């Protein structure tokens, strides 16, 4: 039980660290500066918590289904942009601006989609290779 909890906490930290790295990269691409890692980590944690709360509330109000998922997607996008705008400051201390925060969030989503596709093909090929090896070994092939 304790080991599973420790593994879960380590994976959660890795998840947030990767999210902070993606936020730093997206901010560098769009806004031209890189926020500090601790700031990006705090933004990633707050965005995740806010997205979970918003998704849960909208599912309770609208019910589970296609429309509530679409509304949740738009609202979560706007909440993520607002959190990023409020917490990630330029080096001179000014806010990024809500429009640029929306662009940073959009680039962040694109980076996450590309990363997921790459990981799908890498781990998918490994899994298919393992399945193939198992089938070949069961059939008596060398």
Of the ranges 49-53, 126-130, 138-142, which is most confident?
A: 49-53
> Per residue in 34-82, pLDDT tens?
889 999 999 999 999 998 998 888 888 887 777 777 888 899 999 999 9
Q: What does the buried/exposed string (b/e) look like for 71-91 if buried means 16 or more CB atoms within 10 Å of the residue's CB? A: ebeebbbebbbbbbbebbeee
* DSSP states along 111-122: HHHHHHHHHHHH
* Count of Cβ atoms closer than 10 Å to residue 12 Cβ: 12
Confidence band, pLDDT 50/70/90 cuts, at residue 138: low
Average pLDDT, the chain: 85
Confidence band, pLDDT 50/70/90 cuts, at residue 132: low
Residue 105 has pLDDT above 70, yes or no: yes
Residues 10-36, mean pLDDT to the nearest whole number: 91
Give the pLDDT score at 59.
83
Give the pLDDT score at 104.
92
Residues 13-34, mean pLDDT to the nearest whole number: 91
Find, among 135, 108, 123, the residue nearest to 44 by Cα. Answer: 108
Q: Are 23 and 34 in contact (CB under 8 A)?
A: no
Give the pLDDT score at 139.
53
pTM here?
0.78
SS (H, E, C) 56-108: HHHHHHHCCCHHHHHHHHHHHHHHHHHHHHHHCECCCCCECCHHHHHHHHHHH
Give the pLDDT score at 127.
72
């Amino acid at each position: 039980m304790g080991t599973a909890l420790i593994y879960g906490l380590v994976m959660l930290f890795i998840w947030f660290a990767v999210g902070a790295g993606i936020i730093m990269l997206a901010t560098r691409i769009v806004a031209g500066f890189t926020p500090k890692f601790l700031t990006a980590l705090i933004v990633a944690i707050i965005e995740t918590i806010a997205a979970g709360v918003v998704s849960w509330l909208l599912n309770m109000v609208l019910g589970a289904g296609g429309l509530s998922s679409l509304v949740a997607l738009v609202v979560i996008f706007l909440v993520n942009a607002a959190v990023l705008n409020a917490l990630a400051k330029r080096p001179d201390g000014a806010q990024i601006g809500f429009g640029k925060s929306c662009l940073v969030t959009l680039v962040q989503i694109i980076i996450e989609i590309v990363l997921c596709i790459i990981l799908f093909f890498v781990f998918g090929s490994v899994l298919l290779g393992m399945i193939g090896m198992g089938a070949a070994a069961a059939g008596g092939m060398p």
